[in-house]
Amino acid sequence: MRATLTHLGAMVTAGVWRLGYAARFFGYLLVHSATAFRRFGLTVREIYFAGVLSLIIILVSGLFVGMVLGLQGYDTLQRYGSSEALGVLVALSLVRELGPVVAGLLFASRAGSAITAEIGLMKATEQLSAMEMMAVDPVARVVAPRFWGGVISMPLLAALFSAMGIFGGYLVGVVLIGVDEGAFWSQMQDAVDVREDILNGVIKSVVFGFAVSLIAVFEGFDATPTAEGVSRATTRTVVTSSLAILALDFVLTALMFTGGN
């Protein structure tokens, strides 16, 4: 019993210590990000690997999520004779929640894990040490471009996800089922507010982008330099990013979408 408690205490202490280390790392990363912007080609390359290569999964998933929303939404709404509100349902669900969150989760699994694996592998094969020995700061040259590449890609991917989802909802609702096209779009436009809904959704995706990118580069940089260490770090990235996205989503939703005057 005592051993379990001691172990638990040790884990918590270690966790807090690591959190502090991650915070210092983040500070260091921000201060040394000048290279990532002065030599923007490095960051562009990372936007390609994180953003462009995630396009397929984001667009396809967005389409399917939108189509499912259309199907399920219609099924429930038509029971109350409100099937014309389908557009509103699909748009608000996507723009406020599903777009940023699901795109964030997909991004964490695909791009986040790839970034962690890449940096971890560079650490394991002593490439980061070699760079340090050649008087080039690996955080500025390797880590920062990947971080900012992720931050820039994330909001764009979330917007694409939402747009594809709305299109999917339109396909199912209007084209397949036969909801009135005019009502679909006009009620949507009435109900979706640019500042309240769309902007808040964008803010969410930016926050998620920061969180996922930071976790991905930190886990890679901090990985134990063995094959097993890298694989564990990659798993940690996906798990921690997913939890962080969901927790942040709750906090942001509570802040942004509370009712009242």
Single residue of 57, 63, 163, 177 touching another protein by CB under 8 A: 163
Single residue of 159, 174, 214, 215 touching another protein by CB under 8 A: 159
Burial of 250 from C-beta contacts in 10 A (0-12 / 13-18 / 19+): exposed
- Between 61 and 162, CB nearer to another protein: 162
Residue pointed to by tokens 């509570």: 254
Single residue of 44, 60, 175, 239 touching another protein by CB under 8 A: 44
* Percent of the chain as helix, strand, coil, to the nearest 5: 90, 0, 10
**36 touches another protein (CB under 8 A):** no
| Inter-CA distances, 229 with 17, 119, 126, 130, 211, Å | 19, 12, 14, 20, 22
**181 touches another protein (CB under 8 A):** no
**200 touches another protein (CB under 8 A):** no
**70 touches another protein (CB under 8 A):** no
The C-alpha angle with vertex 76 and arms to 195 and 60, in degrees rounded to 5, equals 60
- Between 108 and 188, CB nearer to another protein: 188
Residue 130 has a CB neighbour count (10 Å cut-off) of 12
CB 99 within 8 A of CB 65: no
Single residue of 42, 86, 143, 160 touching another protein by CB under 8 A: 160
The DSSP-derived string for 57-121 is HHHHHHHHHHHHHHHHHHHHHGGGT-GGGHHHHHHHIIIIIIHHHHHHHHHIIIIIHHHHHHHHH
- Between 161 and 218, CB nearer to another protein: 161
**Size, binding site for another protein by CB under 8 A:** 48
- Between 194 and 254, CB nearer to another protein: 194
Single residue of 67, 117, 119, 202 touching another protein by CB under 8 A: 202
Instruction: Show the tokens assigned to 181.
Output: 């096209």
**125 touches another protein (CB under 8 A):** yes
CA–CA gap between residue 147 and residue 137 (Å, rounded) = 15
Single residue of 136, 175, 243, 246 touching another protein by CB under 8 A: 136
- Between 8 and 40, CB nearer to another protein: 40
Residues in touch with another protein (CB under 8 A):
41, 44-45, 47-48, 51-52, 55, 91, 95, 121-122, 125-127, 129-136, 141, 153, 155-157, 159-160, 162-164, 166, 185, 188-190, 192-194, 196-198, 202, 259-261
